[in-house]
């Protein structure tokens, strides 16, 4: 598989009171052409921040170091004008909240057409045609009438389809979907996921799918990257990671999924929370605070991301030899 996106040693830091706080630390991964890669973890783990870095939409205070290459082109050093050319045409993004993602005062069709026109030297009529066609592609009907509607008249699912149409109208090589279904009804979630899959195959777009839902990862992704507190802690083929998790954090994430077998028992939740950015300890394993198997070496330094077979793991415990799930259950 040809490589589309290569992120190397990416760190993003925010100025803190005494010293900089690193929200992302030495993140490295790749996304191949036409591949769907899942990025999972709790809130505050750096998933969205990774996405915003690729989009070049980091908050002004943030400082990014390392390398983000799209089709071999370094994105971190691009000027704002160059980034505007990349955004929306080579990389697009879908956001979590379709309710607020659209401008309430602008017709939805015009909002899609705007994306087309900012990357094509097109007449209004051409942009309209392209928009109508794209609206049909995302499964909307009565598109002529829908073009002139304002966002508040549309349902959540329809709005998310509009957002998808907007993101894909310029056939980007990479689509970043940041929790695209979290805010939707369960039935609509499935529809949107199917739509994403269908369009991804049709346009051979690569997708970086950010989610905290391992069920979605299982359904959609060939590969999954697990993040914790700004670090990648585990990476591998979805089937392997989900069936045989190596990192204690991944195991706990899996254990937190309600299943039929555990019906009637109290739902498991991982004790503690992801430490807020300013309170994170540096120079220790990021998960050591919440890991019941942490031992002395875990507190002496950040474990390296080591290769275990085809997988990657940031943990000092001998991977795959323990079965904690039985302890938890």
Partner 1 sequence: MTRTFLYLGKKLLSALAALVVISLLTFLVFQILPGNPALIILGVDADPLQVEALEQLMGIDKPMLQRYVEWLGGLVGGDLGLSLRYRVPVTDLIASALPVTVTLTLLSLLITIIIVVPVSVYLATHNNTIAATFLSALTQLGVSVPSFWLAIMLILVFSVMLHWFPSGEVIPFSQSVTGALRSLVLPAVAISIGTTAVVIRYLKSTILDEMHMDYVRTARSKGLSRNTVLYRHVLKNALLPAITILGMITVDVLGGSIIVENVFNLPGIGRLITSGVGNRDFPMVQALVFYLAATVVVINFLVDLLYTAIDPRIRLP
Measure the CA–CA gap between 10 and 20, rounded to whole angstroms: 15
57 in contact with partner 1 (CB under 8 A): yes
Least distance from partner 1 to the Cβ atom of residue 239, Å? 32
Give pairs for 305-312: CB < 8 Å, separation 24+: 305/26, 305/28, 305/231, 305/232, 305/235, 308/246, 310/236, 310/237, 310/240, 311/234, 311/235, 311/236, 311/237, 311/240, 311/241, 311/246, 312/232, 312/234, 312/235, 312/236
Least distance from partner 1 to the Cβ atom of residue 97, Å? 6
Cβ proximity to partner 1: between 119 and 311 the closer is 119
Measure the CA–CA gap between 210 and 222, rounded to whole angstroms: 13
Least distance from partner 1 to the Cβ atom of residue 154, Å? 12
**β-strands 174-178, 206-211 pairing:** parallel
Number of residues lying near partner 1 (CB under 8 A): 30
Least distance from partner 1 to the Cβ atom of residue 118, Å? 5
3 state DSSP class of 294? coil
CA distances 292 to 163, 282, 295, Å, are 42, 19, 9
Least distance from partner 1 to the Cβ atom of residue 196, Å? 16
- Interactions with partner 1, residue window 60-89 (CB under 8 A): 80-81, 84-89
100 in contact with partner 1 (CB under 8 A): yes
Cβ proximity to partner 1: between 134 and 305 the closer is 134
Q: Which of 22, 47, 119, 247 binds partner 1 (CB under 8 A)?
A: 119
Least distance from partner 1 to the Cβ atom of residue 39, Å? 17
| CA-derived radius of gyration, the chain | 21
Q: What phi and psi, each to the nearest 5 degrees, are found at residue 308? A: -125, 100
Q: Please name the residues in contact with 187: beta carbons below 8 A apart, sequence gap of 6 or more.
A: none
- Per the listing, tokens 């999954």 go with 224
Least distance from partner 1 to the Cβ atom of residue 150, Å? 4
Least distance from partner 1 to the Cβ atom of residue 75, Å? 13
Measure the CA–CA gap between 214 and 38, rounded to whole angstroms: 9
- Per the listing, tokens 């120079």 go with 283
114 in contact with partner 1 (CB under 8 A): yes
- Interactions with partner 1, residue window 235-264 (CB under 8 A): none
Helices (H), ranges, 123-267: 124-137, 143-147, 156-168, 186-203, 214-220, 238-243, 248-255
Scanning 26-34, 96-104, 123-131, 191-199 for contacts with partner 1 by CB under 8 A, the matching segment is: 96-104
233 in contact with partner 1 (CB under 8 A): no
Query: HSE (CB half, 13 Å, CA atoms) of 127?
Result: 18
- Interactions with partner 1, residue window 125-184 (CB under 8 A): 150, 152, 163, 166-167
Neighbours of 202 (CB within 10 A): 11
Q: Which of 13, 37, 70, 101 binds partner 1 (CB under 8 A)?
A: 101
210 in contact with partner 1 (CB under 8 A): no
Scanning 103-111, 193-201, 264-272, 310-318 for contacts with partner 1 by CB under 8 A, the matching segment is: 103-111
Q: Which of 10, 24, 49, 55 binds partner 1 (CB under 8 A)?
A: 55
Least distance from partner 1 to the Cβ atom of residue 144, Å? 18
Binding positions for partner 1, rule: CB under 8 A = 55, 57, 80-81, 84-89, 92-93, 95, 97, 100-106, 114-115, 118-119, 150, 152, 163, 166-167
């Amino acid at each position: 598989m040809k490589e589309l996106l290569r992120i190397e040693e990416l760190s993003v830091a925010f100025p803190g009171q005494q010293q900089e706080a690193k929200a992302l630390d030495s993140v490295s991964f790749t996304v191949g052409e036409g591949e769907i890669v899942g990025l999972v973890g709790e809130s505050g783990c750096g998933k969205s921040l990774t996405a915003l870095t690729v989009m070049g939409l980091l908050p002004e205070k943030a400082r990014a170091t390392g390398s983000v290459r799209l089709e071999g082109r370094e994105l971190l050093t691009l000027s704002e004008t160059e980034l505007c050319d990349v955004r929306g045409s080579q990389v697009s993004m879908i956001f979590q909240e379709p309710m607020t993602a659209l401008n309430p005062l602008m017709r939805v069709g015009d909002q899609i057409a705007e994306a087309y026109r900012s990357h094509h030297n097109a007449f209004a009529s051409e942009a309209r045609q392209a928009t109508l066609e794209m609206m049909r592609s995302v499964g909307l009907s009565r598109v002529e009438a829908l073009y002139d509607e304002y966002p508040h008249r549309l349902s959540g699912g329809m709005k998310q389809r509009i957002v998808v149409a907007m993101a894909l109208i310029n056939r980007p090589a990479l689509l970043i979907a940041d929790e695209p279904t979290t805010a939707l009804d369960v039935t609509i979630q499935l529809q949107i996921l199917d739509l994403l899959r269908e369009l991804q195959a049709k346009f051979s777009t690569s997708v970086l799918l950010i989610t905290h839902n391992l069920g979605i990862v299982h359904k959609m992704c060939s590969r999954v990257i697990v993040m914790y507190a700004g670090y990648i802690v585990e990476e591998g083929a979805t089937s392997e990671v989900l069936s045989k998790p190596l990192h204690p954090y991944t195991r706990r994430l899996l254990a937190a999924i309600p299943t039929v077998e555990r019906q009637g028992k109290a739902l498991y939740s991982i004790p503690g929370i992801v430490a807020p950015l300013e309170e994170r300890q540096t120079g220790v394993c990021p998960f050591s605070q919440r890991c019941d198997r942490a031992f002395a070496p875990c507190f002496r330094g950040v474990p390296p991301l080591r290769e275990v077979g085809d997988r990657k793991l940031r943990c000092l415990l001998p991977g795959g030899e323990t079965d904690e799930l039985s302890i938890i259950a």
